């Protein structure tokens, strides 16, 4: 989702990820971007359905091979410090190598995920999503996938390679993260 940045006031102090985590839930969807709280537009049924499909497919694969954690539902991930940025990726994967099986964090994980998947919504702007992909890569995310459900296109952005584009009928592979993973993009959409 593309956050709507509120203009900071002169007296506004930047907050840390830890302060953001400790704030009471006021019912708003927000992220922390460079120390400032920004509103995130609500998602809709289709978006949630597609995200849950992605989580189910990835979790089945990851669980079968005992590889790591798959999270969804915009769970917070710190992707920048000083000033802090906490994003809520639609789906993320952490290997047990980065985040051991016996170390489920209470708050934000102490490491970045290897894989992030973002599902475009009508309110998302291409420029904002491109910037977010760059932020994830700078944080150490190996692969960012951006799915456009309206076009039926998924673009894979590896951190060290050129992007790859997949149509709904093509088989997605993620060799940078899962050497044996294969799934038709359409499976995320149906």
Return d(Cα 98, Cα 100) in angstroms, integer. Answer: 6
Predicted confidence at residue 4, as pLDDT, reads: 46
- Read off the pLDDT of residues 23-77 as tens digits, 9 standing for 90 and up: 998 989 999 999 999 998 888 999 999 999 999 999 999 999 999 999 998 899 9
Domains of the chain plus CATH, in order, are 43-189 (3.90.1570.10)
Closest by alpha carbon to 171, among 180, 184, 181? 184
Counting residues of the chain whose pLDDT is more than 70, the rounded percentage is 94
- Read off the pLDDT of residues 141-182 as tens digits, 9 standing for 90 and up: 999 999 999 999 999 999 989 999 999 999 999 999 999 999
136 sits in which H/E element: helix 126-138
Angle made by CA atoms 1, 42, 165, in degrees to the nearest 5: 30
Q: What is the pTM of this model?
A: 0.91
DSSP 149-171: TTTTEEEEEETTS--EEEETTSE
At 61 the three-state DSSP class reads helix
At 18 the three-state DSSP class reads helix
């Amino acid at each position: 989702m593309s956050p709507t940045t509120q203009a900071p006031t002169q007296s506004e102090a930047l907050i840390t990820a830890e302060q953001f985590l400790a704030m009471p839930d006021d019912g708003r969807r927000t992220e922390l971007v460079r120390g400032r709280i920004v509103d995130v537009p609500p998602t809709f049924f289709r978006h949630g359905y597609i995200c849950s499909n992605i989580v189910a497919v990835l979790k089945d694969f990851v669980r079968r091979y005992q590889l790591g954690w798959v999270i969804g539902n915009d769970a917070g991930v710190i992707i920048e410090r000083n000033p802090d940025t906490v994003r809520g990726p639609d789906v993320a994967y952490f290997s047990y190598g980065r985040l051991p099986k016996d170390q489920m964090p209470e708050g934000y994980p102490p490491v970045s995920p290897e894989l992030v998947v973002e599902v475009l919504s009508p309110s998302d702007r291409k420029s904002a999503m491109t910037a977010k992909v760059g932020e994830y890569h700078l944080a150490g995310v190996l692969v960012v996938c951006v799915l456009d459900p309206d076009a039926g296109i998924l673009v894979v952005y590896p951190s060290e390679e050129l992007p790859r584009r997949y149509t709904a009928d093509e088989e997605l592979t993620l060799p940078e993260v899962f050497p044996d993973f294969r799934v038709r993009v359409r499976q995320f959409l149906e």
